[in-house]
Structure 1
Amino acid sequence: MTVSKLTPALILTLTSPAVMASGFALIEQSASGQGLSYAGAAASAEDASVMWFNPAGLTEVAGSQAVAGMHVLLPSNDFTNSDSRIEGVMPLSGNDNAATNGLVPNLYWKGQYGDYALGFGLNVPYGQKLEYADDWAGRYQSIETDLKSVNLNANIARKLNDHTSIGFGVNAQYVTLNMSQKIFTGGADGEAEIEADSWGYGYNLGLLTQVSPSTKVGMSYRSEIIQNAKGEVDYNGLAPGQTLKSDVTLPATAMFAVTHDLNEHITLLADATWTGWSAYDELVIEFANGSRSETNQNFKDSMRYALGMIYDYSDDWRFRTGVAFDETPVPNAESRSSRTPDSNKTWVSVGFNYQVTPSVSLDAGYSHLFADKARINKHETLSPSGLDNYLVGEYETHVDIVSLQMVWNY
């Protein structure tokens, strides 16, 4: 076996340490939604950020509007080693907390052209950074994972009648990935690093209907996006670098949401969201020298459930709260990767809206995420030695998220 056949988990998994939604996705696309744990997001059109969750909701936003938001992600991701080793050679030691703080921006614009509501959004659907110490127990499986993405989303919506609206959007999504890991040589460790990027394209659509004077139902769908990624691998002097390519399918999502006005002050919200992570299952890497590598990611489809409440205190103040359960697509300890140490998460959120002037308002939201402890027992075959490497231990994760946004009606 040669160095050029390094484990595919290094080359292009397009995974990330983002633990804010299932797998490696980011749901942080609206500060108004953050205070609700994103409950009812496909049926609640408080501002133009609704276009990410349901483009049909744009018909509920009056006139023209601009929204600018920022989310501060403060994760902790403690790994405790138990029995990591290179089989028959040596035990591996070293605990670590590889989580890094992150910023996630959102920009949205809504306009009107005759009977049509128009929208454009710029946001970050995937991304974060995970960086372990060079001497941690899993250094031969991962050191750095740095994934960035930008999604450009143009939408159009219109009312079919007084009760029902439909919407449609197209997406252009760019991803860039930098990854590294140590290489076991029997002497001084080597290191491999990769850089890869890709553009992918997809669509989104939605339906919003008023089923009673006090109840709305929203349904939406976001398509899969296939990223035909290309890049290079550098072995830092151990072997010549080379180019690589891989087709990676990022999952589709479908959301069903309900809002109900309990009285003139209180609105209740709920939703269920399906993510088709099983499409991100088998990873095939093709190298310039003609070699090929395959691995099964073992991801399963996952569900997210959320409940929330909005309390209209006055003309100037609106308060929000919500809870959610986010199911991980990672099925077991053997499938869990140190690049995606994901587990089930429970959200608890609070937030508010303040009307600063007749045309400008501010939203703030805070969430704390409690993650289940995540066992890992990951086996990989080391290149070029062919030795068996086991990363065995447990992750303990929690996340704080602070979100702010300004809404301008003009």
Structure 2
Amino acid sequence: MVWVVRAYQTNSDHGRLSCPETRMTRFKQTSLLIAALFAAAPAVHAAGFQLSEQSIVGLGRAHAGAGVAGDDLSAVFYNPAGMMLLNGTQVQGGFTYAEIDAPFEGTTTKTGKRFSDNGRAGGEAIPNAFFVKEINERTRFGFGVTVPFGLGSGYGENWDGRNEGIEAHIMTVDLNPSLAYQLDDKWSIGAGVSAQYTKANLKKGARGAPSSVSGEIEADSWDYGYNLGLMYQFNADSRVGLSYRSKIQHEPEGDYTVEGFPEVTGLNGVYGGANKVTTPESILLSGYHRVDSKLALTGSLRWSNWSRYDTLTTVNDSGKVPASIIENNWKASWFASVGADYNYSDKLTLRGGVAYETSPVPDAEHRSPLIPDTDRVWLSLGGSYKVDKNLTLDAGYTYLMGVGDRDINAADFKGSYSSITGHLIGVGMQYRF
């Protein structure tokens, strides 16, 4: 059974409240809004690859400058030291709608039969929600709810590649409290902890068994990690940041369902199932430079250690059905992006960006139809509209285009994806109290 998880601010004056009643009213408003955002986040499943979509503002410039751009609250996730660019008390929430199209054509190994299918699953929403509060001039507290890893793909129950995978739906929800501290007028540091919930529903056929046989695992777990951040400000208009997110070893347990064997074998049934998978540690380098009052340039470079995703073993307690061992041999992946923001007016900011992301899949022998992965190009556009001094609305769009090797050389079939494309559409809001 394949179990795969893809891994993968605003500068303003301090707010002043005039009386205890006003402070209490705004505190209640803040609490209610945060509760609504956080309640919404875990209810939505993620889809796609390693999910960079923790910011609608960032989506509009291909996540260039992530963590140090200073124009939204996503520094909580990307680089907690960047929270020092935020003042007062602020909340942020949004959703990114994601869908992937992956038409496949192949030939079976035994009979030479030609077939076609599409791993496209229904588009789903990726949520994010953040809260940042200024404790004092040198200290910030932040809390984030994000979906850092997700997967959604599905084929017909009887498609010719069923032994490599029939269906995969995986969701992670990350709860990430963080602190930032300004050491001096140049250096800031930050750190946070991650409590990460993972839920998976995956199904595949069984090689060497009747074509009707399948195994399906439904499992979940809570696991923990941390993130660190460092930011250096050359001046008010230029800064760089370096951040680290730790690996997290997930050990989900749940039900493993076997079906399709003749009843006389006594193999069908629901058993306990479990496996282990480690999502990679990652290092992110980001930069920001304001050219003038209208134009700002951004850039990011991220390394993710997917070599940890080497072998995947799924076990069950039936005593009859053997464990499934998958050899992945993945490698580290890179993500590089550049972007720009243009202040069209006092209310409207426009932005754009491009990125290139390498695939961790080493070759066609290790590419799974459940993860139709390849190198990809990001083309992004977005904007923000300031409704008033407190409320900002954000929107972003990214077109994903797979490039390079798209072949699969599996034991039962060989073939290729004619194309792999995706659309990411995000909307969100920021509110300052």
TM-score (norm 1): 0.89
| Offset from partner CA, 1:177-201 (integer Å, 9 cap, x none) | 1111234677662332211111110
Q: 1:327 aligned to 353, 358, 372, which one?
A: 358
Bigger shift: residues 237-246 or 134-143: 237-246
Q: CA deviation at 1:97?
A: 1.7
Equivalent residues in 2 for 1:90-105, closer than 5 Å: 90-100=111-121, 101-105=123-127
Kept in 2: contact 1:31–1:71 (CA 8 A): yes
Bigger shift: residues 364-373 or 232-241: 232-241
Give the aligned partner of residue 133 of structure 2: 111
What is the distance in 1 between the residues matched to 2:211 and 2:85? Answer: 62
For residues 18 and 337 of structure 1, do their structure 2 counterparts lie closer, same or farther at Cα, with a shift above 3 Å needed? farther
Give the aligned partner of residue 198 of structure 1: 221
Q: Does 1:224 align with 2:247?
A: yes
Q: 1:132 aligned to 138, 155, 160, which one?
A: 155
Kept in 1: contact 2:46–2:170 (CA 8 A): no
Structure 1: tracts of 5 or more residues without a match? 1-9, 381-388
Give the aligned partner of residue 231 of structure 2: 208
Letter in 2 for 1:103: A
Structure 2: tracts of 5 or more residues without a match? 8-44, 262-266
SS at match of 1:233: strand
Equivalent residues in 2 for 1:147-158, closer than 5 Å: 147-158=170-181
Bigger shift: residues 364-373 or 187-196: 187-196
Q: CA deviation at 1:48?
A: 1.1
SS at match of 1:210: strand
Q: CA deviation at 1:295?
A: 3.1
| Offset from partner CA, 1:132-167 (integer Å, 9 cap, x none) | 112322122211101111110000001111222111
Q: CA deviation at 1:262?
A: 1.2
- Bigger strand fraction: 1
What is the distance in 2 between the residues matched to 1:64 and 1:406? Answer: 14
What is the distance in 1 between the residues matched to 2:306 and 2:209? Answer: 38
Give the aligned partner of residue 196 of structure 2: 173
What is the distance in 1 between the residues matched to 2:369 and 2:241? Answer: 36
Q: Does 1:347 align with 2:378?
A: yes
Q: 1:269 aligned to 276, 298, 306, which one?
A: 298
Q: Does 1:162 align with 2:185?
A: yes
Give the aligned partner of residue 408 of structure 2: 377
Q: CA deviation at 1:43?
A: 2.0
SS at match of 2:83: helix
Q: Does 1:144 align with 2:173?
A: no
TM-score (norm 2): 0.84
Letter in 1 for 2:331: K
Q: Does 1:233 align with 2:256?
A: yes
| Offset from partner CA, 1:285-312 (integer Å, 9 cap, x none) | 3332565553321110011110000111
Kept in 2: contact 1:373–1:395 (CA 8 A): no
Give the aligned partner of residue 94 of structure 2: 69
Letter in 1 for 2:274: K
Kept in 2: contact 1:43–1:219 (CA 8 A): no
Q: Which has the higher contact order (CA 8 A, sep 6+)?
A: 1
Kept in 1: contact 2:72–2:430 (CA 8 A): yes
SS at match of 2:393: strand
Letter in 1 for 2:275: S
Kept in 1: contact 2:6–2:279 (CA 8 A): no
Letter in 1 for 2:333: S
Kept in 2: contact 1:102–1:128 (CA 8 A): no
Bigger shift: residues 192-201 or 325-334: 192-201
Q: CA deviation at 1:233?
A: 1.5
Give the aligned partner of residue 108 of structure 2: 84
What is the distance in 2 between the residues matched to 1:321 and 1:141? Answer: 38
Sequence identity (%): 32
What is the distance in 2 between the residues matched to 1:271 and 1:28? Answer: 14
Letter in 2 for 1:69: G
